Amino acid sequence: MGKITGFMEYDRKPWPERDPRGRIKDWNDYTIPLDENELKHQAARCMDCGIPTCHMGTELNGLTSGCPVYHLIPEWNDLVYEDQWKEALDRELKMNNFPEFTGIACPAPCEGACVLGINEPPVAIRTIERAIIEKGFEEGWVTPNPPKQRTGKHVAIVGSGPAGLACADQLNKVGHHVTVFERDDRPGGLLTYGIPEMKLPYSIVDRRISILKEEGITFTVSTEIGTDYPFDQLKEDFDAVVLCCGATEPRPVQAEGENLKGIHYAMDFLHANTKSLLNSEHQDGNYISAKDKDVIVIGGGDTGTDCIATSMRHQCRSLVQFDIYPKKSETRQDDNPWPEWPIIHRMEYGHKEAAAVFGEEPKAYAVMTKKFVGDHEGHVKEVHTVNVKTYIDENGNKQRKEIPGTEKVWPAQLVLLAIGFTGPEKNILQKFGVEADQFSNAKAQYGEFKTNIEGVFAAGDVRRGQSLIVWAINEGRGAARECDRYLMGETDLP
């Protein structure tokens, strides 16, 4: 590497954040770019380890370790340190179609597997990744590059999230005519309507979509396959079809009173908020408002954090996030060794905002919802909970034991359910005639991505279940490779 002792000389410094009290007054990006000199210092921390584990994505104990798109991280870190930004961009784009998305919204399993992270704060990989692609756009290096010739083959991609976009990009590169179908009014899938504006600005998604359009990809929005466009007709009109329609069936909380007014799934809340914001800056009123309400967010993951941050910008009266698990340690425990994803306590951007306003972290730990209670109009007014202990029984199954005397009643006029997804939406695969596996996902072997229907492939969350953006890109690229092989008899796609 360019600076052998960089990891000893420079402290980790990720992308800075704006003041929490100030940023909740707007919907702008909550982060602040690092200057190039500091970015070079951060890149210099990449330590020339003998076997870099950051760029080899795998799963350890059910969690992702390393980068699933096999980003050439040590290479572009060195190039940034050497001030060779254009070359760094070339290396970055070699393995990842959309580093601007992963550089913002990926939880960075690469950093969890960083060798430096064994006994020091890991390299700020995601910060550098985002800086490289933004530099590329600023300098005009990222431009449309349509294929020089077309194959005459037509491919339909159902869904315009990260898997669909990556698949479309790859298939277009080798000359196929690609049409992406999206049921929403804007392309991007959960990149557009599932991640709030202050975390992933739509301008960044739209910027990439514009390039893909200029390269020859057709986007057909407000069109639901199976409803607006029969699936059988789609198969007739196209030489191949790739399903990238996600896993968006929300997991219910299964508690008494869950059908009361004021209880919403997180994605309904986030989708409506972003749509109203983009359409009218909330002037149309077509969103679920948290203003002056006591808000309960059930679920301790990233989507729950996004609900917190959105509610804070609505000016909620109070906010609590229920996490079924106990508070995690500040450092790795012995049963969570490197290079596994570090299961540690984190204060994410939404938590910092709530803490700045209300004076403490918004999470309540080891809390299980027992029931919801409504008022005389059928609107939720209370959430009843009990604390639980989570343990593994003799059969290896996760169990929860209620702790007597820990019952509590919480005031709430808005409850947001952010406890994950169970798989593709009900009956969507049946509409297509695609066989499902035991988890209700599309049955298609990883690496082949073929469904039971000739010429129909599946990739991303619809195939693997709820997962990370970076895995969606991995699968979109893989499905494009196998689709190209199906169409042409061979393929040069990676």
Please state, in angstroms and rounded to a whole number, the distance separating the CA atoms of residues 15 and 134.
Answer: 13
Q: First vs last Cα of the chain: how many Å apart? A: 27
Please state, in angstroms and rounded to a whole number, the distance separating the CA atoms of residues 380 and 372.
Answer: 7
For 237-291, the DSSP string reads H-SEEEE-----EEPP---BTTTSBTEEEHHHHHHHHHHHHHHHTTTT--S---T
In this structure, CATH architecture of domain 252-419 = 3-Layer(bba) Sandwich (3.50)
Residue whose pair of structure tokens reads 């210092």 in the numeric block: 41
Q: How many CB atoms lie within 10 A of CB 107?
A: 18
Decide whether 6-138 matches 154-248+422-488 in CATH topology: no
- C-alpha distance from residue 9 to each of 3, 5, 41, 42 (Å): 10, 6, 9, 10
- Among residues 239, 246, 244, the alpha carbon closest in space to that of 483 is found at 239
Q: Tens-digit pLDDT profile for the chain (494 aa)?
A: 668 899 999 999 999 999 999 999 999 999 999 999 999 999 999 988 888 999 989 999 999 999 999 999 999 999 999 999 999 999 999 999 999 999 999 999 999 999 999 999 999 999 999 999 999 999 999 999 999 999 999 999 999 999 999 999 999 999 999 999 999 999 999 999 999 999 999 999 999 999 999 999 999 999 999 999 999 999 999 999 999 999 999 999 999 999 999 999 999 999 999 999 999 999 999 999 999 999 999 999 999 999 999 999 999 999 999 999 999 999 999 999 999 999 999 999 999 999 999 999 999 999 999 999 999 999 999 999 999 999 988 888 889 999 999 999 999 999 999 999 999 998 899 989 999 999 999 999 999 999 999 999 999 999 999 999 999 999 999 999 999 999 999 999 99
- Report yes or no: 200 and 306 within 8 Å, Cβ to Cβ: no
For 1-29, the DSSP string reads ---TTHHHH-------B--HHHHTTS-S-
Tokens found for residue 491: 């393929």
- Report yes or no: 192 and 209 within 8 Å, Cβ to Cβ: no
Tokens found for residue 168: 């479309």
Please state, in angstroms and rounded to a whole number, the distance separating the CA atoms of residues 66 and 79.
Answer: 20
Please state, in angstroms and rounded to a whole number, the distance separating the CA atoms of residues 22 and 235.
Answer: 51
Please state, in angstroms and rounded to a whole number, the distance separating the CA atoms of residues 470 and 135.
Answer: 21
- Among residues 135, 63, 65, 59, the alpha carbon closest in space to that of 99 is found at 135
Q: What are the residues facing 373 on neighbouring strands?
A: 382
Q: Which fold has domain 6-138?
A: Fumarate Reductase Iron-sulfur Protein; Chain B, domain 2 (1.10.1060)
Please state, in angstroms and rounded to a whole number, the distance separating the CA atoms of residues 359 and 290.
Answer: 19
Domain residue spans of the chain: 6-138, 154-248+422-488, 252-419
User: For the whole model, what pTM was predicted?
Assistant: 0.96
- Find out if CATH 3.50.50.60 is the number for domain 154-248+422-488: yes
- Among residues 103, 122, 120, the alpha carbon closest in space to that of 111 is found at 122
